[in-house]
Chain A
Amino acid sequence: MPKRKLDPLPSAAFHILLALADNVLHGYGIMRQVEQQTNGGIRLGPGTLYSSLQALVEEGLIEEVDRSPAAAKGTERRRYYRLTSSGRKLAHHEADRMADLLRIARAKKILRGEYV
C-alpha cells in the first residue's frame, strides 16, 4: 500500500486542481494555466508537473480523458486531464482551509484588506 503522497496537499497539486476546475487541459495547458493564475509566479516544470499529475491520478482526484479531436488527428501525443468529483471536493476543502487561515491572519493583523 503506497503512502498517500497528497496529504498534506502540495502547492503544485493544488494549483493543478485549480487549473482543471473549469477546463480540460493537457500538461502544457495546465502549466500555462497555473502560470497565468499565479501571475507568472509558478511555472511547473515537466518533472514536477507530471509527477504531480501521476500522483493526482493515482489518488483519483483527476482523471485522464480521451484526446480532443484536434489533438487526435495530429501527430502530437498528449493526455488530457479533468477534475473528478473527489478532486473538486478536495480542492474545495483546501480552499476552505486556506480561507480559515486567512481569517486568522487577518484577526492577528498579519494580513490586511477586505478582499479574499
Chain B
Amino acid sequence: MSEQLFAFLLRLYPAAFREKYRDEALQLYRDRLRDETGTFPRARLYVDLLADAATGLPQAWRNSYAVSNAPSFAQITESMPSFRLLEKEKLRPEFIAMGSTLSVLVLIGFGLFMSLPSPFRPLPNSRNPKSPIESVMERLNHSTSPQPDGSGPDGFEVAGVVPATPGALTARGQSGAVDVPTGSAPKIDPAERQRVVQAVAGNLQVHYYDHEKAQNASAAILALEQRGAYDAIVDGPDLAVRLTSDLRSSTHDLHLIVEYSSRSLPNQPVNPPAALPAVVSEQYRQAMKQQNCTFEKVEILPNNIGYFKLNSFPDPAVCGAEARAALQNLNQADAIIFDLRDNGGGQPDMVAQMSAPLFDHSVPWFNPRANPSSTMLSPAYRSKLANKPVYILTSTLTHSGAEHFTYNLKMLKRATIVGENTAGSAELGAFHRIDDHFGMGIPETPIANPYGKPDWELIGIAPDVRVPAADALATAEKLALEYRKN
C-alpha cells in the first residue's frame, strides 16, 4: 500500500480528525514502514491498516469532532442570526459530480413520469371528443330534420337527457353543430366571466352526484375567481377550457366539462329520447332496413375466419334479429373479427347483445349509461363463438358505443384490439345550459366501473396491437392464423 493510498484511506475520516491527526498518522505509517521490513511484517502491516480502517472509522465518526466543530442548536438560537461554518472543508469535485448526476437522473425520471398517459389529460390522439354542447346541437338537428341517409337517433344519450353521438353513418366532426370560427376568438367581459364562474359553481353543487366534491370544486373555482386567476382570460373558449381543467383537477372526474359555443345555445329544454316522436322511430326503422342495420359485411374469410363489419350498434328492437342472424352466420368460424373502424356508436343494449355470444359464462358487465352501471352479462346459449379468439379492429373514428364494446371486451380479456387508439368519447355528463354560449356536462349519478380502471372518456382505448387502421384487417387475419397454428 503506497503512502498515497493510505492518505486516500485517511480521507474517509472526519475532516476535524484529518486536520488534527493526518500528519501524525502518516508519520506513524512511515515509521512502521521503516521498522517492519520483510514480506511477512509488511503484509501484516497492510492487513493491520485495513482492519484498522474497519474498526477505527466508526469510532472516529462517533467522536465529537463534528459536534464540537458545529455550533449547537442552543448556541444558534441563543445568539443573533449569523453565518456559521458547519464544515470547513471545500465541497469535493466527486460530490459535485455525484449531485449533478443525481439531479439529471431525477429530472429525466420526472420527464418520463410527466409523459406517461394520465387519465386527467386528453391524449394528443384523442382528437375531437364530442362535447355535451355538440351533442345538444346534433340532437336538435336530428329531431328537427332526420337525416336522409337514414341514420337515426343514437341510443347513447347524455344521462337520459340528450343523445350524444351522431347517426351511425355520419362522420364525426362533420356535423358542424358547433360553429366555432377559426378566426378571432369571441371575447368576454369581466362581468360575464364572473357570472359564468358562479353559474358553473352553482350548477355543479346542484347537479353533481358527489356533493362533497362538488362543494370543494365550486369553492376552488370561486376562490380562483376572487383571487383574479381568471382575470387574464378574455376569450370564451379559453375560459371554458380553464374551468374544465380546474374542475377536473379538483374532482378527478374526466366527465365534467365546460364548453363554449359561438352559436347561441337553444333556450328550450331538449326532448328526452324516450319521448322521441314515433315518426322518427319509423324513419329510423326504415333507414335501418335500407342500410341492412349498418352491417356492412358479414362473411367468412380464408382460413375460416369470420368477419363482421358493422358501422353502428343499432337499436335491438329494430335490428335484434339481424344481429342474431349475422352472428349465426359466423358461428362455425374458427375466429371472429369485429371491424369497428367506421363505427360511430349506438345502443348499449345492442353492445350487450352482440357480446353475449362470445361468453359461455356470466361476466361482470359495465354500462356507464345505465343505473346501476355495473351488472352481470348472461351468456348466449348455443353459441360456438364462446371459445373462439376475437379480434376488434379500431381506428380514431371508433366512437362511443363501439368504444363501449371494445372497452368491455378488452377489460374482460376476451378480445385482441388491433388498430389505432379509439376516439375517447363517452359523454356521460348531463347537459346544463349556463347562458347563450356557455354550457356544461355534469355526471348526475356515480359511475361504478367493475373493472376498476378509468373508462374511455377522452383517453380512448389503446389497441393491443397498434397498426394503422388500414392495415388492421390484414394484421388481425395474420394473428388469427398464428393463433390457430399454435
Contact = CB atoms under 8 A, between A and B. Distances in A.
Contacts of A44: 52
Interface in A42-64: 43-55, 58
Interface string A68-105: 00000000111100000000000000000000000000
A5 interface: yes
Query: Which of A31, A44, A54 has its CB near the most chain B CB atoms (within 10 A)?
Result: A54
B59 A51 contact: yes
A14 to B, nearest CB: 14
A16 to B, nearest CB: 13
A52 B59 contact: yes
B68 A45 contact: no
How many residues of B sit at the interface, in one of the four size bands? 20 to 34
Contact of B62 (A5, A46, A78): A5
Contacts of A2: 64, 67-68
Contact of A48 (B44, B59, B67): B59
A58 B56 CA distance: 17
Contacts of A5: 59, 62-64
Interface residues of A, number: 24
B55 interface: yes
Contact of A47 (B20, B32, B53, B68): B53
A46 B20 contact: no
Contact of A27 (B24, B56, B67): B24
Interface of A: 2, 5, 26-28, 31, 43-55, 58, 76-79
B23 interface: yes
A78 B26 CA distance: 11
B53 A58 contact: no
Nearest to B26: A46
A45 B67 contact: no
Contacts of B13: 47
A50 B17 contact: yes
A25 to B, nearest CB: 12
Nearest to B25: A46
Query: Which of A43, A48, A51 has its CB near the most chain B CB atoms (within 10 A)?
Result: A51
Contacts of B62: 5
Query: Which of B56, B60, B62 has its CB near the most chain A CB atoms (within 10 A)?
Result: B56
A87 to B, nearest CB: 17
B51 interface: yes
B388 to A, nearest CB: 74
B108 interface: no
B23 A45 contact: no
7 contacts: A5-B59, A27-B27, A31-B32, A47-B56, A48-B55, A50-B60, A54-B21
Given A48-B52, A50-B24, 14 more contacts: A27-B24, A28-B32, A43-B44, A43-B48, A46-B24, A47-B56, A47-B60, A49-B56, A50-B17, A50-B20, A50-B56, A53-B21, A54-B17, A79-B24
B67 A76 contact: no
A64 B472 CA distance: 87
Contacts of A28: 27-28, 31-32
Given A5-B63, A58-B64, A77 B23 contact: yes
B29 interface: yes
Contacts of B28: 27-28, 31, 46, 49
Contacts of B29: 46
Contacts of A54: 17, 20-21, 63, 65
B23 to A, nearest CB: 5
Contacts of A58: 63-64
Nearest to A43: B48
B52 A45 contact: yes
